[in-house]
Structure 1
Amino acid sequence: MFRIRSIWPLLLLSFALHTPACAQLAQSLRLEIPSDPNQAEAFDVTPLAERGVLMTIRTGGFYDNTPAVFVFKKYDIDLKPLWQTTFKQDTKYRAIQTFDNDRYVYHLFREYDTNKFQFVRLHLEDGVVESFEGTLLDQFDIQQFKVLGGQAYVGGYHHGRPVVMAYSFFDGTAKVLPGMYVNHMEISSLEIDEARSEVNVLVHSSRRRCRFSIRTYNYDSKLLRTVDFDGAQNSIISGKLLPVDDHESLLVGNYSTDCTPYSQGVYVTRIKHGDPTADVSADAINNMQYFEFSQLQNFFNYLKPHRQQKLLAKAKKKKEEGKDYKFRYRLLVHDLKPTADGLTLVAEVYYPQYRGNTLAYGGYLRGADRYEGFRYTHAFVCGFDRKGNLLWDNCLPIKELLSPDLTEMVQLSQQGDRIVLAYPNEGEINTEVIQGNKVLKETEKFKLKTSVDDEKVTFSAQDNLMAWYDRHFLACGFQKIAPSKNMTNQREVFYLNKLTYSAESLTDKPASATTKKSAGSDR
């Protein structure tokens, strides 16, 4: 969600821009909403694929008891308005989480310091707003929010123990999913399987050898099965599920060897469904494949060549001595992307960045006043077939990208057997085109344009990029814009740009194209 400190009358400007030659990023449309830096306002942009885009503009209710007002605006793929709806929230409620699917956008609100909640459902077809009030748990620290059919699933912690609750929009009842409320366990993710009408809760424990489990519930909140992974040798850090057919799903994620958040590589295994007599846990463990980072062909291509060779040589020497080389990478794993062959995994590598290198008095960790944000070093992409076999891997170096929040920055556009990878940074979009292990086009920078030729962007903040549909992206954020001849007369806007990348004209490069220019990072 994007926040600014002011609001002016909402003026929307839409125009067509010059389209560059093929195999480049083209900016075709742009919306600008003027803003005033003296008040509070927040923007939320939700891509709806070929159905358009939803913009949510919120004013009020941030720091005081003024009511929050939500303006929902839906646009088509040409950024032309389709409908607009306004919803005024009661001052007693505070926004907690959002969730969207093909038909609705849901907002979860909570009355401050009580167990009373409100669910707001926005119909994407016509903008009709419905609200549902209910009671969940008091002192409920909410982390996840998903919806399946007519039920909302809210996950979080109650007195330090994990809880997932199912709330019915039909009768307003709520119940706790069984088998979750235990000590020393954390919720890794909450995933909805719409095809099977099932809810999967992925949990991991810091004790009992770092066990990882998948607990699957039906629509009636009955526990159907539990798949356990013993972390005696390799402990699973995170997992994402993707159904590949009626009888099987793939579980993909990252793992460590010492029960820490630092990844040693990625794994994949098959989860079978439908046979109540089968030992699902044993099958999943037997099918498990681990891929250490040093086994990936292009994972370290973000490093300078000499640094890459030195690191791989050190890892190889350790293995020859019968020792394990400990990688220390933190990964942000995206949701899995289904493909005709199987799936694509995207993960971003990051680390928390602090100012300076000294520790506080007494040996404590660096204080919050020294914390700057999350520094991204690179992203890697892996292709798997439907049986979980690794087909290829590739790497996108990320240079000088620091974010105050840990969010998915790299976006993916699948165009046949080619993939366009892109991320925003300081008013620019960085792109790279890959085809399996090969790099068809090295990293390029594209500067976002304004609505007038003789204007200049003087400041850009909270830049965000989203894959939209087909070969199109949405870029948004805040900019200060001034005439080229009068830099003191600036205006501040929230922008929304439609971008298009056509990779079809790119020709395949020879095998040597797998060696890429690095971003120059040694981390």
Structure 2
Amino acid sequence: MRIIIPLIILLVCFLGSSEQALAQRKGLLRVELNANLDMENYNIVPCGENGLLVFFESEKRGGGIDTRIWHFALYSKNMQQQWLADTALITGVKFKAFVHGDNNTYLLFMDVDKQKSQHNIQILKIDYHINKLELFNASGPEKSEPVHFSLHHENAIIAFNNSRFEPSLQFIDLLSGSSKQIKPEIEGLNIIQDIHYDTEDDKIFVIVENYLGKKQNAILILQLDKAGQHENTYKINPAMEKKVMNEARIAYSAGDTLLIMGTYSNDASRVSDNDDETGPETAGFFVTRFEGEKEVYINYYNFLEFEEMFRSLSSKTIADLRKKAEKQKSKGEEYSLEYTLLLHDVIPFKGNFVLLAEAYYPEYRTVTNMYYDYYGRPIPQTYTVFDGYNYISGLVGAFSADGKLVWNDGVEIRDILTFKLSRYMETFVKQDELAFFYSSQNKLYYQIASADEEENKLQNIAIESKYKGDKLMEDLGSKMMHWYGSYFICYGYQKIKNNRISGGKRTVFYFNKLAFK
């Protein structure tokens, strides 16, 4: 069995670091930077064994017209500051994504509101071998949000969705600087869900969610060559009435074989006219396999069949689910969990393929205020307040190459209520073990996938703070991600109180290094 342990070593802080008279706890691998909880302005990117990149936008104008200075700092594996660098980026751009290639890291910045006639995309290349920063400029589609960023050969590939449901792909040649845009020619309204690369056959697969008349129609997989030219289209056939694919991921591709997994529901969703970010309600996982253009099979697995999943839910929730399921069965219908999910990429593990999805729901509360009219008579006014998205559980299913459910699991998610929808769970495969992680309220939670119920329990350790006597007052959106090897980085914003330090309170952006041993 594996456990999570904090690493021990001395560190040096940078850029507005939280300097205090009290000595830091001996050897703790943690950096703190002064911050404001109302302004989440720090960005952090793990760069493998090259280190850890931390950067933010300053208030200082750049030397060029309409530019702003961004500060960058690279930390070593031992959390020692290696270098500082400033670069001017277009005013208004926001950090969107990153990708690694060879000995370089590429950062994607974009201003989605800037006119198409102007550069609204910037890609910053960081070369660790010669410590060089190189900037690429391009023009992308207006009012479009990048949902995918990757490298394929010499091209940076960006996928865009927009409110007009007209997705596009942009290929930017990082050698010549040329750029081309590709718009899938598909009838109806469309949303790009994911992109998968078959490196052996040099194919690109684009997963598209298709709507006709604002009603969900199908999941399509577009096969492109390395230049973006369309070669083939696969359409997932539900094979059963009242089965609708919600989201899909490609688990495996080789030659003419495609293994596809994802989530399904019992009712077709519709295009929303408002800004609601929640997706459709989900009933379970599906697995389908294509040989050439033929769909060999499609299997459905309702979450109510996942016995291990119920260990991550409260007894009351389980009772309610079973009661509703029996009621739906009596009507000849399949009952859905009525949870919306954030689906992860497929995880290859011990010859099988693991799907992980985080379940959440929008949480509201009712507020009643009393007002008085001209004559002093009380008039109650009631309204609903959105408190954020409440995360409930990680739902896990492992499937064989022939589409059979091998095992299932559930990971309880505690104390995550947020206004920003994002994946909070991380996974890590080491030899014959698969671990699930997430961070919440200054604790690191982890669970090992195992048939042994004792080893399969959710466990946690406290995330150590910087000084003895520190007391956490507020934790905002702490997350964790894989760094390199068996090491992870946990980071976020915290408000901390310590009566031993002058001033007593500090607000910081922190990051701790952790190991899976």
Length-normalised TM-score, structure 1: 0.78
Residue in structure 2 matched with residue 506 of structure 1 by the alignment:
none
| Native 8 Å contact 1:393 1:436 kept in 2 | no
SS at match of 1:300: helix
Identify if the C-alpha distance between structure 1 residues 145 and 419 changes in structure 2 by more than 3 Å, giving closer, same or farther: closer
For residue 220 of structure 1, report the CA deviation from its aligned partner: 1.6
Displacement of 1:256? 0.9
Residue in 2 aligned with 1:123?
126
1:354 matched to 2:358:
no
Q: Which residue pairs with 1:105 in the alignment? A: 106
Partner of 2:53: 54
Letter in structure 1 aligned against 2:122:
F
Q: CA 1:124 to 1:429, structure 2 compared with 1: closer, same or farther past 3 Å?
A: farther
Match of 2:413 in 1: 398
Measured at CA, do residues 415 and 168 of structure 1 come closer, stay the same or move farther in structure 2, by a change above 3 Å? closer
State the AA in 2 paired with 1:9: G
- Is 1:135 the counterpart of 2:139? The answer is yes
The alpha-carbon deviation at position 396 of structure 1 amounts to 1.0
- Superposition deviation, residue 87 in structure 1: 1.5
1:424: how far off? Answer: 1.7
1:220 counterpart letter in structure 2? A
- Per-residue deviation at 1:148? 1.9
Among 156, 160, 167, the residue aligned to 1:152: 156
One-letter code of the match for 1:243?
A: Y
Q: Determine the structure 2 residue equivalent to 1:507.
A: none
Note the C-alpha offset of 1:51.
4.1
Given the superposition, is the C-alpha separation of residues 139 and 33 from structure 1 closer, same or farther in structure 2, using an over 3 Å criterion? closer
Q: Which amino acid aligns with 2:282?
A: S
CA deviation string 1:288-345 (max 9, x = no partner): 2211112222222233336424533552564366332233121101122222313222
Secondary structure in 1 matching 2:311? coil
**Structure-2 separation of matches of 1:395 and 1:53:** 31
CA 1:297–1:49 in structure 2 vs 1: closer, same or farther (change >3 Å)?
Answer: farther
- Comparing 71-80 with 370-379, greater Cα deviation is found at 71-80
Distance 2:39 2:243 in 1: 47
2:6 matched residue in structure 1? none
**What does residue 372 of structure 2 align with?**
none
Change (3 A) 1:60 1:248: farther
Describe the superposition over 1:398-418 as per-residue Cα deviations: whole angstroms up to 9, x where unpaired: 233201111111222334333
Cα distance between partner residues in 1 of 2:38 and 2:59? 9
Q: Secondary structure at the match of 1:287?
A: strand
Q: Which amino acid aligns with 2:114?
A: Y
Secondary structure class of the residue paired with 1:301: helix
1:425-504 matches, within 5 Å, as 425-436=440-451, 438-485=453-500, 489-502=504-517
Distance 1:387 1:44, change over 3 A: farther
Distance in 2 separating the partners of 1:418 and 1:348? 20
TM-score by length of 2: 0.79
Query: What is the Cα-based RMSD across aligned positions, in Å?
Result: 3.4
- Given candidates 197, 213, 217, the residue that maps to 1:210 is 217
1:246-261 → structure 2 map (5 Å cutoff):
248-260=257-269, 261=280
Q: Which residue of 1 aligns with 2:203?
A: 198
What is the 5 A alignment of 1:45-444? Answer: 45-60=44-59, 67-91=67-91, 93-95=92-94, 97-102=96-101, 103-110=104-111, 112-115=114-117, 116-126=119-129, 127-154=131-158, 155-157=160-162, 159-180=164-185, 182-207=187-212, 210-231=217-238, 233-243=242-252, 245=254, 248-260=257-269, 261-272=280-291, 278=292, 280=293, 282-283=294-295, 286-305=296-315, 307-309=317-319, 311-312=321-322, 314-316=324-326, 318-319=328-329, 322-356=332-366, 370-436=385-451, 438-444=453-459
8 Å CA contact 1:114, 1:139 repeated in 2? no
CA distance in 1, matches of 2:285, 2:37: 47
- 8 Å CA contact 2:341–2:357 kept in 1: the answer is yes
> What do the CA deviations read for 1:146-167 (whole angstroms, capped 9, x no partner)?
3322223332237442222323
- The change in CA–CA distance for 1:294 and 1:156 in structure 2 (over 3 A counts) is same
Q: d(CA) in 2 for partners of 1:403 and 1:124?
A: 35
